[in-house]
Amino acid sequence: MIVTMGGLGAVTASVLGDDRAIAGRTLELPSIVPTADGLVGFCTITALQFSDFLVMIGRPDLADDADLASFAGRLRRRDEFLEIVHRWAADRTTEEIVELAAAMRIPVAPIGTPGTVTGIDHFRERGVFVPNGAGVPQPRPPYRGDALETAAPGRVPALGEHDGRPNRNPRPARGKETGAPGRPLEGVRIVDFTAFWAGPTATYTLAALGADVIKVEGLRRPDGMRFSGGRPPTWERWWEWGPVFLACNGGKRGLTLELSEPEARDIALRLVATADLVVENFSPRVMGNLGLDWAASGPPTPVP
């Protein structure tokens, strides 16, 4: 979250300059919704996701409402729309809603509260929260790896304990001129088929650690995040002006392939054969339909 949300503001300011106010602060509708036992979050970016959301909450009759289909229309009718959503969610648990929305491929997540956040499944499985010196759970460092060491949470200092004695150890010099090693993932090649936010952010982190990340996009269906919060289509090369896309894809190389074409598929398979890791976040069966699943590509083997 620090990488994604922190970098986004800086990139937006750099790319849009004085025009960054054209986006301003926005709301998601639907977004965080109260449930019978907590909170759940939705993010219906595409028209299909919003249409499926209406089906899920038992209001398919609203799918033909052109006003609600637009964000501006939902904002104008915010109270009406939220009243429908909240009434549906109030009788269902967070777990029930997450299971149902996930089955319908609607982006969804449980929203943590102080009482529930440590028990959310992926936090629990990854051991995100660990006891500190006082026995109180707190987040561990957000990264792990054999190439670097992390320190467990220590004792909380007493008030005034460090007054007048700053402990600011200088960073050791790094770089080729010192003979020190480079970034930990240098020499690793990653072929990146991901789109939107979570996948590109994950591979962006790997690129920041030194991996050679090659992002593959479709010619007719590029990464949809290119079109979020950037310039209007009246601008030249407007698809290159999306701050969200740029903030999640720094440090990567780019390749455009129309993967429905046999020649492009062959290029993709040859590229995969040179990779240490392939990352994708398509819906199930998409990679198989493109002929790029494990059965087609197999274990990576270097080729000339």
Same domain, 199 and 293: yes
What amino acid occupies position 304? P
Q: What is the pLDDT of residues 191-206, one digit of tens each?
A: 999 998 889 999 999 9
Give φ, ψ of 40 to 5 degrees.
-140, 150
Judged by DSSP in three states, 127 sits in coil
Average of per-residue pLDDT across 135-143: 86
What is the rounded distance in angstroms from the CA atom of residue 279 to the CA atom of residue 135? 38
The pairing of strands 212-217 and 189-192 is: parallel
The alpha carbon of residue 251 and the mean position of all alpha carbons in its chain are separated, in whole angstroms, by 16
Residue 215's CATH number: 3.40.50.10540
Flag whether the pTM goes above 0.85: no
> Contact at 8 Å (CB) between 232 and 222?
no
Average pLDDT taken over every residue of the chain: 85
pLDDT band at 299 (very low <50, low <70, confident <90, very high): low
Exposure string over 153-190, b if 16+ CB within 10 A, otherwise e:
beeeeeeeeeeeeeeeeeeeeeeeeeeeeeeebeebbb
In a domain, 56, yes or no: yes
In a domain, 163, yes or no: no
Predicted pLDDT at 172 = 60
Predicted pLDDT at 26 = 66
What is the rounded distance in angstroms from the CA atom of residue 192 to the CA atom of residue 271? 11
Asked which of 110, 138, 154 is the last residue of a domain, the reply is 110
pLDDT band at 249 (very low <50, low <70, confident <90, very high): very high
Q: Which domain holds residue 207?
A: 189-297
Is the confidence at residue 15, as pLDDT, over 80?
Answer: yes
Tokens describing residue 145? 């790896």
In a domain, 169, yes or no: no
Average of per-residue pLDDT across 24-45: 87
Average of per-residue pLDDT across 104-109: 92
What is the rounded distance in angstroms from the CA atom of residue 4 to the CA atom of residue 244? 9
More confident residue, 176 or 61: 61
| DSSP β-bridge partners for residue 149 | none
Predicted pLDDT at 303 = 43
In a domain, 171, yes or no: no
Average of per-residue pLDDT across 265-278: 92
More confident residue, 286 or 211: 211
Is the confidence at residue 167, as pLDDT, over 70?
Answer: no
In a domain, 40, yes or no: yes
pLDDT band at 186 (very low <50, low <70, confident <90, very high): very high
- Residue 254's H or E segment, with its range, is strand 253-256
In a domain, 179, yes or no: no
Predicted pLDDT at 143 = 75
Predicted pLDDT at 70 = 87
Rounded to a whole number of angstroms, the distance between the first and last alpha carbons of the chain is 39
Is the confidence at residue 154, as pLDDT, over 80?
Answer: no
The alpha carbon of residue 286 and the mean position of all alpha carbons in its chain are separated, in whole angstroms, by 19
Is the confidence at residue 304, as pLDDT, over 50?
Answer: no
Is the confidence at residue 302, as pLDDT, over 50?
Answer: no
Asked which of 81, 110, 139 is the last residue of a domain, the reply is 110
Asked which of 110, 129, 152 is the last residue of a domain, the reply is 110
Is the confidence at residue 28, as pLDDT, over 70?
Answer: yes
Predicted pLDDT at 24 = 54
Distances in Å between the Cα of 239 and the Cα atoms of 24, 177, 236 are: 19, 39, 8
The alpha carbon of residue 218 and the mean position of all alpha carbons in its chain are separated, in whole angstroms, by 19
pLDDT band at 147 (very low <50, low <70, confident <90, very high): low
In a domain, 117, yes or no: no
Is the confidence at residue 182, as pLDDT, over 50?
Answer: yes
Is the confidence at residue 174, as pLDDT, over 60?
Answer: no
pLDDT band at 96 (very low <50, low <70, confident <90, very high): very high
Predicted pLDDT at 264 = 92
- Residue 271's H or E segment, with its range, is helix 262-273
